[in-house]
Each structure stands twice: as C-alpha cells, then as structure tokens.
Amino acid sequence: MKKKLYEFFEHTADIGIKVRAATLKVLFHNSALAMFSIIAKKRHSTKPLGKPVEIKQEADNLEELFINWLNELLSLSATKELIFSDFKIQKLTERKLQATIIGSPVENFELNTEIKAATYHALKINKDKSGWQAEVIFDV
C-alpha cells in the first residue's frame, strides 16, 4: 500500500494540510504539491510547460522560510498564470532555499479553490526519528 504524501484536515473556512517526508527537501516539495492539488486539477493537454522559474529565499527561521516558499509559489502562479507541478529544490537549509520550478498554463487545469495565502496560524514543523512533518493552514 502506497504511503500518503499529504492529507487534508478541516479548519473553519480555511483548508489545512499535514505533510510527512523523510527529508526537509521532500517536505517542502510535497507541501507545494499538496497546495497546488487544492488549487487545480490537471486536464488532459498537450500544451507545453512554462519556462523554468528560479526561486531564492532567505528567512530568520525554518517556519518563516516554509511560509515564504508557499506564498512565493502562490504569487508566481498568479502573476505568470501557471500552475506549478515540478519543484526541484537545489539547496535547502533552515534559513535558505534555492529552487527551480516549472508550471503549465492555467488553461490546462480545472480550477478548484483559490488560495490567498499560507498562514502562520497553528503552523507546525517538526522533526522526529521517522523524518519531518508539517501542518499549515491556507487562507481561502
């Protein structure tokens, strides 16, 4: 049986996700996948992917970096009219991130739910013997 990469949970008018991963890079990757799975569902399309977009983030701590990552993805998605699905994280520490992302044009997708922002409300990022876990709530 395949292990879930992420799951959704109820939170008033917002949407939350709980993500588990063996490494911090995979945690950031799977969180981005989960977020975009809330936003849109891919239609069958032969339209090409967009051009790669480079992201560099710096923050004072891991929580800030995590929220900045997700909100930067939302911002780039809106301005470039792309839905991102390919996240290559080249460098990641608890205070710095460097990644390349690629998305497809919005018209390749059936849009579901608009996410305004990833929030700090009830944000949890933990590491234990089995790996990393994050819980984040999105303002919809």
**Token pair recorded at residue 69:** 């990552």
What is the rounded CA–CA span in Å between residue 111 and residue 88? Answer: 24
Rounded Cα gap, residues 138 and 77, in angstroms: 15
- What pTM did the predictor assign? 0.89
Summarize pLDDT for 107-122 with one digit per residue, the tens. 999 999 999 999 999 9
For the chain, domains (ranges, CATH) are 10-139 (3.55.10.10)
Q: Which residues of the chain have pLDDT under 70?
A: 1-2, 10-13, 45-48
Structure tokens belonging to residue 82: 């792309």
What is the C-alpha separation between 36 and 33, in angstroms, rounded?
Answer: 5
Whole-number pLDDT of residue 39: 97
pLDDT of residue 8: 79
pLDDT score for 3: 72
Question: 98: buried, middle or exposed (CB in 10 Å: 19+, 13-18, 0-12)?
Answer: middle
